[in-house]
């Protein structure tokens, strides 16, 4: 497995609630950035932003 990679998590289920003081609704997904075999960044984005990134539509 590569040490530097990026996972885009697109959930098939929905979840809503509060986690660490932030309010999350069904439209939130996450991108996990790995560097050196460790999580370097956890990026939160909406479904629309994530799909646009996966399709290469955002500049």
Model confidence, pTM: 0.41
Residue range 25-38, pLDDT digits in tens = 656 667 778 888 88
The pLDDT, as a whole number, for residue 55 is: 77
Of 34, 15, 52, the C-alpha closest to 43 is 34
The stretches in the chain having pLDDT less than 50 are: 1, 12-13
The full set of domain ranges for the chain reads 5-54
Tokens found for residue 47: 């479904």
Which are the contacts of 33, defined by CB distance < 8 A and separation ≥ 6?
A: 6, 39, 40, 41, 42, 43
């Amino acid at each position: 497995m590569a040490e530097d990679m990026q996972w885009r998590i697109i959930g098939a289920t929905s979840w809503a609630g509060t986690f660490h003081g932030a309010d999350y609704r069904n439209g939130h997904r996450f991108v996990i950035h790995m560097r050196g075999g460790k999580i370097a960044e956890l990026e939160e984005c909406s479904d629309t932003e994530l799909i646009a990134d996966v399709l290469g539509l955002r500049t």
